């Protein structure tokens, strides 16, 4: 198994993958659309050359560009390194898998999603420790190439993360609930507060500050993330609308919000007390067993 990695896009996430993998002993290099002062790391703007080297050295190719740049980069991969193992770190899995398939690269593709990030972006914002202790989802759908799966999982583990195996569609549905819906609710809460004028804004304290924090994210980043997960977000939003409608009905009829508040309190405790378990007794090429363990809260900390 090669321990070579070729990172396409060396922003916050890609740049951190390159640093972390290199620190763990991988031989790594990268491409970025614009020149980067990569402080000794091998990062160039020559996509063809970078991919030719990946093909020659059988590197794992990591897609780390925004969704909007994916097609152009995949076209180059298909031309210069069509046989390489391929993964991504681009958040929502369905659109990436679709683009990869359109370019005929599905055979050796296994999607990934490290649950790490900061509000900053670009090479300078990255670090070798960005993924330490973080969850890194690795798609575990039937039919994926087991060899590529192990290479992607090893990359995640070597970067300091633990691996959460999950079906791509289940990943997208889950992140809609715990990442994309929070962004939408934060935006709406901020707007409702501002609609209250200077008096309301001046009285806003802890609950409003926390509840609106991610509305401060750059709108184009939030939009790209949410709109790429349209189906998942609709489902999560419908769930939220149903619960809010029930609260509205109870408030109007009996004046109580007991069920909403008590259910939410129980759910918050489930979250704060949630404990992962280590997947230890599963054959790492049995993707069905892996994704079932991941669905139940299991993680891989070693291979």
Which 246-275 positions form the footprint of a copy of itself (CB under 8 A)? 247-248, 251-252, 255-258, 260-272, 274
Selected binder of a copy of itself within 227, 280, 285, 288 (CB under 8 A): 227
Cα separation, 215 vs 206, in Å, equals 15
Residue whose C-alpha is closest to residue 35's, from 116, 94, 123: 123
282 binds a copy of itself (CB under 8 A): no
184 binds a copy of itself (CB under 8 A): yes
Task: Compute the least distance from the CB of residue 39 to a copy of itself, in Å.
Answer: 27
245 binds a copy of itself (CB under 8 A): yes
Applying CB under 8 A, the span of 7-15, 31-39, 152-160, 225-233 interacting with a copy of itself comes to 225-233
197 binds a copy of itself (CB under 8 A): yes
Query: Do residues 54 and 120 lie in contact, with contact meaning Cβ atoms separated by under 8 Å?
Result: no
Task: Compute the least distance from the CB of residue 29 to a copy of itself, in Å.
Answer: 30
Task: Compute the least distance from the CB of residue 116 to a copy of itself, in Å.
Answer: 8
* Pairing assessment for the beta strands 298-299 and 43-44 based on DSSP bridges: unpaired
- Interface of this chain with a copy of itself, residues 99 to 118, rule: CB under 8 A: 115-116
Applying CB under 8 A, the span of 22-30, 43-51, 148-156, 213-221 interacting with a copy of itself comes to 213-221
Query: Do residues 247 and 257 lie in contact, with contact meaning Cβ atoms separated by under 8 Å?
Result: yes
1 binds a copy of itself (CB under 8 A): no
Applying CB under 8 A, the span of 37-45, 149-157, 173-181, 282-290 interacting with a copy of itself comes to 173-181
Give whichever of 152 and 236 is closer to a copy of itself, judged by the CB atom. 236
175 binds a copy of itself (CB under 8 A): yes
Query: Do residues 131 and 156 lie in contact, with contact meaning Cβ atoms separated by under 8 Å?
Result: yes
299 binds a copy of itself (CB under 8 A): yes
Give whichever of 86 and 185 is closer to a copy of itself, judged by the CB atom. 185
Give whichever of 143 and 206 is closer to a copy of itself, judged by the CB atom. 206
- Interface of this chain with a copy of itself, residues 149 to 168, rule: CB under 8 A: 164, 166
132 binds a copy of itself (CB under 8 A): no
Give whichever of 119 and 285 is closer to a copy of itself, judged by the CB atom. 119
């Amino acid at each position: 198994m090669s321990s070579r990695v070729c990172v396409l896009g060396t922003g916050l996430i890609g740049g951190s993958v390159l640093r972390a993998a290199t620190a763990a002993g991988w031989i790594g290099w990268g491409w970025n659309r614009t020149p980067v002062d990569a402080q000794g790391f091998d990062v160039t703007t020559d996509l063809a050359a970078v991919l030719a080297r990946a093909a020659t050295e059988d590197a794992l190719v990591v897609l780390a560009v925004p969704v909007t740049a994916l097609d152009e980069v995949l076209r180059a991969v298909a031309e210069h390194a069509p046989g390489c193992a391929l993964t991504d770190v681009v958040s929502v899995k369905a659109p990436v898998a679709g683009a990869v398939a359109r370019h005929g690269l599905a055979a050796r593709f296994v999607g990934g999603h490290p649950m790490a990030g900061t509000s900053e972006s670009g090479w300078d914002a990255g670090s070798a420790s960005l993924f330490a202790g973080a969850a890194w989802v690795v798609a575990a759908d039937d039919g994926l190439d087991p060899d590529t799966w192990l290479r992607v999982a090893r990359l995640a583990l070597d970067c300091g993360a633990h691996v959460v195996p999950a079906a791509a569609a289940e990943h997208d549905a889950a992140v809609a609930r715990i990442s994309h819906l929070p962004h939408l609710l934060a935006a709406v809460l901020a707007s409702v507060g501002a609609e209250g004028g200077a008096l309301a804004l001046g009285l806003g304290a802890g609950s409003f500050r926390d509840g609106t924090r991610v509305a401060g994210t750059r709108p184009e980043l939030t939009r790209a993330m949410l709109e790429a997960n349209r189906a998942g977000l609709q489902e999560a939003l419908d769930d939220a609308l149903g619960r809010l409608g029930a609260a509205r009905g109870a408030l109007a009829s009996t004046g109580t919000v007991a069920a909403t508040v008590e259910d939410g309190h129980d759910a918050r405790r489930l979250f704060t007390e949630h404990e992962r378990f280590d997947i230890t007794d599963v054959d790492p090429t049995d993707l069905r067993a892996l994704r079932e363990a991941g669905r139940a809260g299991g993680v891989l900390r070693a291979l």
